[in-house]
Structure 1
Amino acid sequence: MTVDARAAAPAIVAGGVGIAPLLTLGAVATLGPLGTDAFLPALPDMGRDLDVAAATVQLTLSAYTVGMAAGQLVAGPLSDMVGRRLPLRAGLSLMAVGAWSAAFSVDATMLVACCAAMGVGASFSTVTGRAVISDRVDRARLARTYAMLGTLTSLGPILGPLAGVALSSVWGWRSIFITLGLLAAACLVSCIVGIPESLRRSSRDTAALRALPRRVGRALRSRAYARGATVIWFGFGGMFAYVASSSFLLQETLGMSGLTYAGAYALNGIALICAGLLSARLLRRLRPQVVMALGLAVESTGALLMVVALVSGAITPALVLPALTLIACSMGFLFGPAMAYGLRDLRDAAGTALGLLGTVQFLIAGIVAAIAASGTVVVSFTATVTVSLVIAWSGWLLFRDPPARRDVSAETTVHA
């Protein structure tokens, strides 16, 4: 039986998501970035141990990213069809098995395949966890809840490299994958115990996978979705350019040591968490689209500092470090408001909408990473961030609500 998409909006739980379930879903979401950030420092050791070139071992990152991108487009509509619980548990199980298999890889081919499986598993759990929140939180609280989820997810880029260095230096690179498998298994147990099914049977669409093209078209025709998605895709693109280029900018261009770079990277991660917490507070008073504009303004200020440094030739810590901090922390203001705003008209197809959002997000991130780290890093990084922000601002401006809809939105803003 096919459920009418517009008539089958899921029941929203008045109380929203409690602290314990939110922490569990935050841990699940953290596994996505943690899956790559943890083994990044060990790539040279992995290459030496498996006797392959650096370019070959770097395919593990590509495989993980492709798995994350492709998996979300399937996981989203699948969760609309069968409910959230099964895809969530299946994704965590696949990530645990993939990580443990990677730990016992005998060659690079097996390792790359296992990393692809990990990416698919992480994609299923990430998009389904976000859909659980959409099912259970009312519109007034959704942006704040997603902002808090984004804050928890930010722990991955902070803890991942530090944990990876510690584990690989003591027990070798294989211990990183064993630990990732244990974390996925722990999240699986927590979800079994603390995350019940959130999508009623009457709200499921048994034809969600067959109707994927139609649902994608519906999402892209939504002005709210186009606005929120464009801001996330290209705002995150600028931020991911920072992730891909930061080691070259800070270590090679500014001459920082590895330890100093790790400290600076961690401080920017803390700034990202603070921005997420501030965003959650601001959303009690301001509409999501206003906080989105604030986030883009923060990221644009960072890009402007990089342009000034590049044009003046003053590639110094005084300009570069504040610029990178602003670019890094901007997603704290963008993630929650843009995601909630984009889902405004698509709550009955949240899984598909979130899957599309995540798929394009990671595809753009992969393209941006390749461009930002090519050629002269300062030039390519600055150009990539600037172009990404021009597109993000264009989406924010072009897909605004008509005046009548803006008036209704302003009237329904909750002041807490």
Structure 2
Amino acid sequence: MLFALALLSATAPLATDMYLPGLPIMSESLGTTTVGVQLTLTTFMAGLGAGQLIVGPLSDSWGRRRLLLSGTVVLALSSVLCATAPTIEVLVAARLVQGFGGGIGIVLARAVIADRARGNSAAKLFGIMMIIGGAAPIVAPLLGGVLLGPIGWRGIFWVLGAVAVVMTIGVLAFVPESLPPEKRHSGGLSALARNFSYVVRNRRFVGYAATFALGFGAMFAYISASAFVTQDLLGLSPGQFSMVFAANSIGLVGANVVNTRLIGRIEVRALLRFGVTLLFTSGILLLTAAIVAGTERWVILPLLWTCVSSLGFVIGNATALGQSQVPSAAGTGSAVMGASQFGLAALVSPLVGLGGEDTAVPMALAIVVCGGLALTSLLTLTREPRDRTVGE
């Protein structure tokens, strides 16, 4: 079941990282600009946020399994539409629907774990799921770089459609219903409104959710700009970019492994604080390097690796700590976290492209801003005299 849930959670890296090496080629193929192609990332992230925000709360009333199956079917059909899109406008719209279907799987994968585990156990499960799902950002850009030549960017979307079919089979075979009828909320729209109110009025939940979303915002600043920075600015080939992207993903997975092994020995909130501090510090160094030595690979690439790796101590820990604040509305809590996560990513994506293709400064600046705000949220909104959540 954990492998099936991890595959669902890997929707975002699979559907973004696999076609990242082809972004420059797509802009030529569809006769559009860099910003136009980056809109396919923006709408995908917006769809991910919308799918989570709508379906997460519904699952607190309807259960998880049927909605999971619906999401994987939508993901498969929309991937076919992406593969056959004749214009950039159709592709942008298809990516919105693809994101919506993927968002269902992501939000409910988190909710299923929150249904079944608490405390350090939940933190470890989220960490293990990230380790398993972390293979996606390692394999996806390498696979995309290999497939881009033989089958083109359209063929990559056909592959994504096939992966969505595998997801559907995984849910059918391995993921039982985790929310029994007696634990579901009734009352229609009024119950949904109460759940939202309960979640967003919890100050500590909001702090952890903001830390989670801003950490992902920093990651997506890197994701959306990395193909252009490494290829157009640093002069790497698409294959070399895929190798760099995979190396950064290995750093992220390695940090997740270390983080998971430390849970139980070190308080989860302390591990989260370390990760956010490392993200902010390495982001400042990256911004300085982008201004002073913007085309030096040996400076830019190691700092990018550090920024990405630091998130191994952020995403899983912030998820577990946030979900632990709202155990009676796990679907709604997961939806709010996911919507804020991908909504921010949708905002960051076009902003990092405004500076053009010959500088890494916008990407580095976005990482610094997200890292600084994440650290501020963690230190101000989640602080209490005694932490009574995960890790106690």
TM-score when normalising by structure 2: 0.91
Is 2:7 aligned against 1:27? Answer: yes
Aligned to 2:377: 395
Identity of aligned residues (%): 32
In terms of mean alpha carbon deviation, does 267-276 or 169-178 score higher? 169-178
Q: Residue 301 of structure 1 contacts residue 326 of structure 1 at CA under 8 Å; is this kept in 2?
A: no
Q: Residue 88 of structure 1 contacts residue 125 of structure 1 at CA under 8 Å; is this kept in 2?
A: yes
Q: Residue 41 of structure 2 contacts residue 349 of structure 2 at CA under 8 Å; is this kept in 1?
A: no
Candidates 202, 205, 208, aligned match of 2:182: 202
Q: Residue 47 of structure 2 contacts residue 103 of structure 2 at CA under 8 Å; is this kept in 1?
A: yes
Residue identity matched to 1:354 = S
In terms of mean alpha carbon deviation, does 295-304 or 331-340 score higher? 295-304
Residue identity matched to 2:32 = A
User: What is the alpha-carbon root mean square deviation over aligned residues?
Assistant: 2.4
In terms of mean alpha carbon deviation, does 99-108 or 235-244 score higher? 99-108
Structure 1 segment 4-83 matched on structure 2, within 5 A = 21-43=1-23, 46=26, 52-54=31-33, 56=36, 58-83=38-63
Structure 1 segment 133-152 matched on structure 2, within 5 A = 133-152=113-132
- Distance between the aligned counterparts of 1:263 and 1:300, measured in 2? 25
Candidates 356, 372, 379, aligned match of 2:361: 379
Where does the alignment leave 5 or more consecutive residues of structure 2 unmatched? Answer: none
Cα offset for 1:362? 1.1
Structure 1 segment 4-403 matched on structure 2, within 5 A = 21-43=1-23, 46=26, 52-54=31-33, 56=36, 58-207=38-187, 209-310=189-290, 312-313=292-293, 316-375=296-355, 377-403=359-385
Cα offset for 1:197? 0.2
- Distance between the aligned counterparts of 1:298 and 1:227, measured in 2? 18
Q: Residue 91 of structure 1 contacts residue 125 of structure 1 at CA under 8 Å; is this kept in 2?
A: yes
SS of residue paired to 1:330: helix
Aligned to 1:4: none
Residue identity matched to 1:173 = W
- Distance between the aligned counterparts of 1:99 and 1:387, measured in 2? 33
Give the 3 Å change call, closer, same or farther, for CA 310–192 of structure 1 in structure 2. Answer: closer
Residue identity matched to 2:318 = A
Q: Residue 91 of structure 1 contacts residue 124 of structure 1 at CA under 8 Å; is this kept in 2?
A: yes
- Distance between the aligned counterparts of 1:112 and 1:315, measured in 2? 31
Cα offset for 1:253? 3.4
Give the 3 Å change call, closer, same or farther, for CA 208–132 of structure 1 in structure 2. Answer: farther
- What is the aligned residue count? 389
Cα offset for 1:308? 4.0
Cα offset for 1:109? 4.4
Cα offset for 1:396? 1.0
